[in-house]
Amino acid sequence: MKPLAIRLARGTFTIRLWPTLIALVMMAVMIGLGYWQIQRLHWKENLIAEMQERMQEPSIDLDLSSIAAEDMPNMEYRPARATGLLQNTHELFLTSISKKGEGGYHVLTPMQLDDGRMLLIDRGWVPYTGKDPATRDKSQFAKPVTISGILRLAHKSHWPQPDNKPEKGEWYRYDIEAMAQAAGAAALLPYVLEADDTPNPDRWPIGGQTRIDLPNDHFGYALTWFGLAFVLLVIYGVFSWQKPVKTATKDSAVKTEAVPESD
């Protein structure tokens, strides 16, 4: 197919088949990704609002409550409390970063409730040196204790989060079934109680690590995609536009002067 040349007063705009098709496809993809980020923006805003709303609801007493499976998705981020005996010899360590950006672990400890059920408690963050229980001996409660916090559910891993390696004792996300097996418990309740910021006697672990300030950069991503689509449009226009070529006239011709012949 021959290029289509559109002659205008100040130049010629030439439409070429393949460059035009490639530009249209790329712009369509970029604009589509921009609108997708706008949808993600609204989804994230609604999610954060829902989390904040749930955290203001009355606390659930897990000793007296049995949460039905169909109600579990609506229970995440609900305040809750539990009383029981911590199984300190079966601690697990979830590799994590504190709210201050420091590397370390979350201490996960099974708790035996009065009725015999086992609940996994995320007691909070410790530095790498806090993995040794001797560094937080006073926080290793030997008697029943009441812990308040926020209910969380286990979720699938996501990129770039690595997979758990139970055989090596390396944990990067909650996995109730695998953690029950690693902790020597017949079964754990299908949720985790993340302890609030009530101080522990040895300072460690530091509770209150539940994150609700989720990153929400989707508006910036949307602007980036829309901006790239606009830049591509400009490049295509520059590529297709050609200014008229000026031709020489009599007035602009180079004048020559006759040189007299020498004798």
Q: Tell me: the pLDDT tens digits for 251-262?
A: 544 444 444 554
Dihedral of the alpha carbons of 76, 86, 148, 59, in degrees to the nearest 10: 60
pLDDT of the residue at 172:
94
Split at pLDDT 50, 70, 90, the class of 105 is very high
DSSP 3-state percent helix, strand, coil across the chain (nearest 5): 35, 25, 40
pLDDT of residue 4: 78
Q: Among positive and negative, which fits the CA dihedral 65, 68, 71, 73?
A: positive
φ, ψ dihedrals at 175, nearest 5°:
-145, 95
Q: Are 119 and 111 in contact (CB under 8 A)?
A: yes
Alpha-helical runs (H) found in 99-207:
176-182
What does pTM read for this prediction?
0.71
**Mean pLDDT along residues 11-32:** 91
pLDDT of 166 over the 50 cut: yes
Distance between alpha carbon 136 and the CA centroid of its chain, in Å?
A: 32
In the predicted model, is pLDDT for residue 157 greater than 60?
A: yes
Mean pLDDT (whole number) for 75-84: 93
The mean-pLDDT minimum among 91-105, 113-127, 234-248 falls in: 234-248
pLDDT (0 to 100) of residue 252: 47
Task: State yes or no: pLDDT of 159 exceeds 90.
Answer: no
Mean pLDDT, the chain, rounded, equals: 87
3-state secondary structure of 171: strand
The tens digit of pLDDT for each residue in 207-247 reads 999 887 677 889 999 999 999 999 999 999 988 888 776 65
pLDDT band (50, 70, 90) for residue 175: very high
